[in-house]
Structure 1
Amino acid sequence: MSDKQEPAEEVVIDDGVETATVRRAPKYSVFLALGAALGVFVAMILTFAFDGQANPAIGQTMSFTQGQVFGFLALVCGVIGLALGGIIALIFERTLGRRTHKVVVDREEHLTID
């Protein structure tokens, strides 16, 4: 006895040529991630500008460590960078999304018979 399997046979069920519209859209996740990363980088730079020491001249009585200053600034600047990245992605979609192309698509549906 032979246990050879015969190859499956493919039958074309539906065949057609259609026109489709193709447009380019930005990847929002990339813009959001880059915006947040840029915000954290700005927070890192600003950490050295604000030393976190108490300044009684302006009514500040508490002092903070550099880690606390960085954490707060990273939180604020990260959210602002995230929002700006999203806004930039929306602007790109509005300006570049208007350029659409019509393409011809050959569509086939196959049924495999065992």
Structure 2
Amino acid sequence: MLLYQRHGKDKRTTECRYYISSQENNDELFAKAVHFHWGIENSLHYVPDVTFREDECRIRKDDAPENFAVLRHIARNLLQREKTKMSIKQKQFRAACDSRFLGSVLAG
């Protein structure tokens, strides 16, 4: 069992999470391992899941899911390389509305 606390703007929540492991009972090491795992999980999947709404995608047939994942990855890399100080989601919206900005994203 691991207690997890999240601090928001106006509220603070605490939840109890349970994990199954074959490791010895070393709470500090286990907490670090869990923290490390979720850090990787969040950094790898946040943008595809939240910005590109990948989990909501209904593409399921043949090679289409993998092809679209590659296209999302390319789009993410192009948006990240663009130097403007905005979030990926803001850059995505601006590129959809402004053809000059889209050109600068595609040009790198």
TM-score if structure 1 supplies the norm length?
0.31
Structure 1 or 2: more helix by fraction = 2
Q: Name whichever structure is richer in strand by fraction.
A: 1
Structure exhibiting the larger radius of gyration computed from Cα positions: 1
- TM-score, normalised to structure 2, is 0.32
